[in-house]
Amino acid sequence: MKQILCFGDSNTWGLIPKTSERFPWGIRWTSILSEKLGQDKYHIVEEGLCGRTTVFDDPLRDGRCGVKVLPTLLESHYPIDLSIIMLGTNDCKTCYGASAEVIAKGLEKVIDKAREKAATPFDLLVISPIHLGKGVGEEGFDTEFNEASKAVSKKLAKEYRKVAIQKRAYFLDASTVAKPSVTDREHLDEIGHKALSQAVYQIVKQWEKENVLKEERAV
């Protein structure tokens, strides 16, 4: 059985828009992926956390800095065959003031630290997150963001693709398959989770085929 670690923020945790509740199994994209791949062949490790960033410490909530926890998670869930990283939305918050280029450097640091500390090599899928919606920072929505945050979120895919190429990782731009809910302009709704799971599934199947070919060549 192969293990896939899904490392992300609230859109990996499965936050129901405009609530503090979590979508149940069968709705979250990670759980749909698990069912599509077959739970007898793959174990999907769900490691999403609301507020998680690449490298920034949240001044209001502890334990949100991704680079500090991913190496430990790789160790506790050993062995990991494929790691899927989808971070960056929270890095767009106004309190960090980060550009897309800086956030991508944060992602790069997360990858480097994880590979440095991992007991065994793992393959990687980098997912640039969905865009923040228009008016996400308006009163009644999430005032930790503003329109500049939305603009930065739209630039992440270009920078993340560069990182993925450099780090020899698979890449997916989530904004090409899913959008933020109209409810909160930030999180995936049920339709978004289903669409994202399908896109990730296709890449995992590609990864699976390429691994089979590698094994055949090695014989």
Write the pLDDT tens digit of every residue in 99-114. 999 999 999 999 999 9
Q: What is the pTM of this model?
A: 0.97
User: Does the structure show a pLDDT above 70 at 133?
Assistant: yes
pLDDT tens for residues 18-51?
A: 999 999 999 999 999 999 999 999 999 999 999 9
> Percent of the chain having pLDDT more than 70?
100
Residue 191 has a pLDDT of 98
pLDDT at res. 195: 98
Residue whose structure tokens are 């859109």: 11
Give me the architecture of the 2-218 domain, per CATH.
3-Layer(aba) Sandwich (3.40)
Beta pairing partners, 127: 172
Q: What is the per-residue pLDDT for 93?
A: 98
What's the rounded Cα separation, in Å, for the pair 213 and 43? 22
For position 212, what pLDDT does the model report? Answer: 84
Gap between the terminal Cα atoms of the chain? 20
For residue 134, pLDDT beyond 90: yes
pLDDT tops 90 at residue 193: yes
Task: Please report the pLDDT score of residue 213 as a whole number.
Answer: 82
The span from the CA of 129 to the CA of 88, in Å, is: 7
> What is the structure's pLDDT at 112?
98
**What DSSP state is assigned to residue 172?**
E
Per-residue pLDDT band for 81 (boundaries 50, 70, 90) equals very high
Locate all alpha helices (DSSP H) within 9-99, ordered by sequence.
Answer: 10-13, 29-37, 66-76
Quick one: CA dihedral 93, 96, 98, 103, positive or negative? negative
What is the DSSP-derived secondary structure letter of residue 22? B
83's tokens: 């790691």
Residue with tokens 């936050």: 15
- Alpha carbons 148 and 96: distance in angstroms, whole number: 12
Question: Given this model, what pLDDT does residue 219 score?
Answer: 64
Q: What's the mean pLDDT when you consider all of the chain?
A: 97
Domain boundaries along the sequence of the chain: 2-218
**Mean pLDDT, residues 143-159:** 98
**What pLDDT, in 10s, does the model give residues 45-78?**
999 999 999 999 999 999 999 999 999 999 999 9
CB within 8 A of 89, min separation 6: which ones?
9, 10, 11, 129, 130, 132, 153, 186
